[in-house]
Amino acid sequence: RDVIESLVGHFDKTNFSLTAFNEGCRLARHTDHGGETAYRLTMLLYFTGEGSSEVPLMFCGKKATSRIGPRPNRSVIFVPSVDTTHWIDPVSCEDECGARIAFSGWLI
């Protein structure tokens, strides 16, 4: 905890969830920064395997939009800021595909 606090500052709580994005699911454009419950650190670990939805995590940067595709054991970790606006477009499967599964965590 001391090491993490030296990197991201004091945090009081953690929050973890396992999510599955099936066809039609989406995550609205948002940032984990600001407000009373601002996150200090956001973590994501993909469990997605072959045949699952390939809808990427989208980040809107100052110069361009970045796409981080879900791959098994890929981790995305970032310190939330005004520059980490992110979202997931609606999942669309032309053929039958499995869920896009990820483990998410936040230090609050």
What are the pLDDT digits (tens) for 50-93? 656 677 888 887 778 889 888 889 999 999 988 889 998 888 77
Instruction: Report residue 85 CA to chain centroid gap.
Output: 11
Say if pTM beats, i.e. exceeds, 0.75: yes
> What count of Cα atoms within 13 Å lies in the side-chain half-sphere of residue 3?
0
User: How does pLDDT run across 1-25, given as a tens digit for each residue?
Assistant: 888 888 888 888 899 999 988 888 8
Which amino acid appears at position 77 of this protein?
Answer: I
